[in-house]
Amino acid sequence: MKRAIFPGSFDPITLGHYDIIKRAISLFDEVIVAIGINADKKYMFSLEQRLEFIKEAFKDEPKVKVETYEGLTVDFCQKIDVKFILRGLRNPADFEFEKAIAHTNRDLAPIETVFLLTAAKTSYISSSIVRDVIRHKGDYTKLVPDSVRV
**Residues with active-site annotation:** 17, 41, 90, 127
The span from the CA of 105 to the CA of 74, in Å, is 6
